[in-house]
Structure 1
Amino acid sequence: MTIFASHRMVRATPPHAEAMEPDSEFSRILLALTIGLIFGIGAYAVGLPLPWMLGPMIGNTCAAMLRMPVRAPAGLRPFVIPVIGVMLGSGVTAEVFGLLGSWVLTLLLLPVFLACAAGLSFLVYRRIGGYDPVSAYYAAMPGGLNEMMLLGAEAGGDERRIALAHAARILIVITFVALFFGLILGVSSNGTGASTWVALDAISLSDYIILGACAVIGAWGGKRLRLPAAPVFGPLILSGATHILGWVTVAPPTLFIIAAQITIGTIIGTRFVGATFAEIRRDLLLATMSSLAMLCVAVGFAEIIALQSGIPLSQAFLAYSPGGLAEMSLLALALEQDITYVSIMHVIRITLVIAAAPLVFAVLLKSHGK
């Protein structure tokens, strides 16, 4: 396992929870996916931004708070994540290489943004939430959920609090980003990233074989090469290469995009299974304040990037929004933004946070004589 496995699902379940019978576990997963599908359809019907992800997130978060017997479809994630990488790679074009020069400012400002965003988030968890310094520090880091939870627990922090903080952050960030795009920037979307429906039979058998190989080989090769976020990034690279070379020229079927969003939204919502209502309410409140602070900083930095480099404000904002890689990349796809730009910036963000957080923490401990 590499340190970049940040996007695996982590449930906030009590350590003493008993193992469930296979039939019971399957029925709980099926219930969670059913709730996700129903709420996705409902969100689409009422015109909610990014309905196929927000709907399942909201539905399963409510189900978890109501103690309904739902369980995350964790077994689907190893299959869905490489498929997401393949879908993201379909948006890579040869023209992207001509835009690399305009990304320099985004890369240079990224560490400064992370320091500002994490600093404000730390103040929220420490001063307002009353978290101990270690838990507040690792809860505030906009990195991978699993990595921050493990590093925080190793440093003596509250593992459960850190896990809930990051689960709540991802939930809140995705919700606010979708609303920001729809209500502030006026970017509308049907939630699939395609203006027209792409049927399953719009792709030939050879296309399916090539893209399937990109998913399998990309995920396996990415792990062997220790690429950051390998299950997404490996398939993305191979899929992008096949599209640039013209081996595949069609967009992914719309049903695949919808299914991926429903699965991810369901997993995010069910992360709160096992937590008490008081914990969920408290962590959502703190995560809302923390996420709003980070998103306000993201808007400010995005404005600078947009003015200085000509990159659209919407894309710069999405690249700096502190959500998960798979989730934010899906947002880029659904909102028809530059997938390559957004995905690469999030890969670098997570890499920087995971690499730098323990080092900065050690320096802070030493400076305080602890």
Structure 2
Amino acid sequence: MIAHNRLIPQGFALVIGVAGGLGAYFLGLPLPWMLGPMILNTVAAMIRAPVSGPDGLRFYVIPIIGVMLGSSVTPEIFGFLGTWLITLALLPLFLASAAGISFAVYKRVGGYDAVTAFYAAMPGGINEMLLLGAEAGGDERRIALAHAARVLIIIVFVALFFGLFIGVSSGGPGAPQWIGLYEISLRDYIILGLCAVAGAILGKRLGLPAAPVFGPMILSGIAHVAGWVTASPPTLFVVAAQITIGTIIGTRFIGATMAEVRRDVGLSAIASLLMLIAAIGFAEVIAWISGVPLAQAFLAFSPGGLTEMSLLTLAMGQDVTYVSVMHIVRITLVIAIAPFVFRWARRWF
């Protein structure tokens, strides 16, 4: 009975997600199958509609995205690795700048305690920052809300206004085309399925960051570079995965009061927009020095979620491997360094 009661609001949230995806698709929004469900479920959560996030599906749908991202890896990419060094060299400096700006917003403007402000400001993974912040004695609810709002705000901002800032729209030459269920062979299904399952399991056992997406992405990339498979997962599977991810992000605001939204999400909006301004500045430097397209560099430094930013990159027809690797490095650096920085800085708090 308890399970049944949980499934009804989850199913309702997914129905809202499908409706949001269809609406966004027919409106011509970029990344419609994730952006539509995300926005509509955020609204549903805020008006206290009986919705609940289908978090249990995340482990099953994320590997599909990882396999799809890996299918964009080609042997030619390795010839561009040298141009990535400048981005990698500037990434720690960007992270320090973005975290410092956000910390000042949460601590000085928002009046958060130092621990909560520190872990709310870190541009890392939501789950990891929530766990580290809780262990350090921070306010879990505020940290969770800050990161959920950051991911939502950055994805919406970048997706809706990307063309205004950089002049790139979705549906570019590298954007994915529709792949039917019967357009790939049984052998392709088996190989792609093995990449998804084995990649998720191995990624978790090896302790990789964002293991459910990174593990399948690596195996899928190897399989495509080796020529074992040339197909991507059918689009219907990818659309279903995006609807699920967008629904989960939107329902993270369940239980938040309007007062919390006005204050905490408002602070997150300020911090996120300042991070994006910093990302634009660093992207300009990278584009000027290394010749990496400005759009690509900006996507690589926009501190949204790995899966969401990779999907947005694919929709914009940009280099998914470059952007994904930078976000993986970002998350890894933040997870690895944040606890040490916190212990060192705590004496100054």
Residues 67 and 232, structure 2, Cα contact 8 Å, conserved in 1? no
- How many residue pairs were aligned? 349
- Supply the distance in 1 between the matched residues of 2:317 and 2:173 (Cα, whole angstroms): 9
Select between 252-261 and 190-199 the one with higher mean Cα deviation: 190-199
TM-superposition CA deviations, 1:117-168 (whole Å, max 9, x none): 1111111111111111111111000011111112112222111111110011
2:203 is the alignment partner of 1:218: no
Structure 2 unmatched runs, 5+: none
Amino acid at match of 2:209: P
Equivalent position of 2:127 in the other structure: 146
Which of 271, 274, 278 is matched with 1:297 structurally? 278
Equivalent position of 1:50 in the other structure: 31
2:211 is the alignment partner of 1:227: no
Alignment of 1:210-359 (within 5 A): 210-359=191-340
Deviation at 1:34, TM superposition (A): 0.6
Residues 192 and 334, structure 1, Cα contact 8 Å, conserved in 2? no
2:66 is the alignment partner of 1:71: no
- Supply the distance in 1 between the matched residues of 2:293 and 2:233 (Cα, whole angstroms): 25
TM-superposition CA deviations, 1:338-368 (whole Å, max 9, x none): 11111111111011111111111111123x3
Deviation at 1:180, TM superposition (A): 3.0
Residues 329 and 339, structure 1, Cα contact 8 Å, conserved in 2? yes
Residues 106 and 305, structure 1, Cα contact 8 Å, conserved in 2? yes
What is the TM-score normalised by the length of structure 2? 0.96
| Alpha-carbon spacing, 1:100–1:93, altered in 2? closer, same or farther (3 Å) | same
Equivalent position of 1:363 in the other structure: 344
What CA RMSD, in Å, does the superposition of the two structures yield over aligned residues?
1.6
Q: Specify the SS of the correspondent of 1:99.
A: helix
| Alpha-carbon spacing, 1:193–1:28, altered in 2? closer, same or farther (3 Å) | farther
- Supply the distance in 1 between the matched residues of 2:2 and 2:174 (Cα, whole angstroms): 39
- Supply the distance in 2 between the matched residues of 1:132 and 1:195 (Cα, whole angstroms): 45
Equivalent position of 1:132 in the other structure: 113
Amino acid at match of 1:55: G
Residues 300 and 326, structure 2, Cα contact 8 Å, conserved in 1? yes
Select between 272-281 and 308-317 the one with higher mean Cα deviation: 272-281
Which of 156, 168, 183 is matched with 2:137 structurally? 156
- Supply the distance in 2 between the matched residues of 1:221 and 1:254 (Cα, whole angstroms): 25
Amino acid at match of 1:216: V
- Supply the distance in 2 between the matched residues of 1:191 and 1:24 (Cα, whole angstroms): 43
Which of 164, 181, 198 is matched with 1:183 structurally? 164
- Supply the distance in 2 between the matched residues of 1:293 and 1:194 (Cα, whole angstroms): 29
Select between 154-163 and 204-213 the one with higher mean Cα deviation: 154-163
Residues 44 and 51, structure 1, Cα contact 8 Å, conserved in 2? yes
- Supply the distance in 2 between the matched residues of 1:122 and 1:32 (Cα, whole angstroms): 33
Deviation at 1:190, TM superposition (A): 5.0
Q: Specify the SS of the correspondent of 2:327.
A: helix
Q: Specify the SS of the correspondent of 1:292.
A: helix
- Supply the distance in 2 between the matched residues of 1:195 and 1:154 (Cα, whole angstroms): 41
The structure whose residues are more often helix, as a share, is 2
- Supply the distance in 2 between the matched residues of 1:149 and 1:278 (Cα, whole angstroms): 21
Equivalent position of 1:10 in the other structure: none
Q: Give the 4+ runs in structure 1 shifted more than 3 A.
A: 190-196
- Supply the distance in 1 between the matched residues of 2:124 and 2:140 (Cα, whole angstroms): 15
Residues 99 and 121, structure 2, Cα contact 8 Å, conserved in 1? yes
Select between 148-157 and 71-80 the one with higher mean Cα deviation: 148-157
Equivalent position of 2:5 in the other structure: 24
Percent of residue pairs bearing the same amino acid type: 68
- Supply the distance in 1 between the matched residues of 2:181 and 2:257 (Cα, whole angstroms): 42
- Supply the distance in 2 between the matched residues of 1:226 and 1:251 (Cα, whole angstroms): 26
Deviation at 1:299, TM superposition (A): 0.4
Amino acid at match of 1:270: T
Structure 1 unmatched runs, 5+: 1-19
- Supply the distance in 2 between the matched residues of 1:39 and 1:273 (Cα, whole angstroms): 17
Amino acid at match of 2:338: A
What is the TM-score normalised by the length of structure 1? 0.91
Amino acid at match of 1:277: M
Residues 176 and 315, structure 2, Cα contact 8 Å, conserved in 1? no
TM-superposition CA deviations, 1:169-221 (whole Å, max 9, x none): 00001011112323322322259974542211111111000000001111111
Q: Specify the SS of the correspondent of 1:200.
A: coil
Equivalent position of 2:86 in the other structure: 105
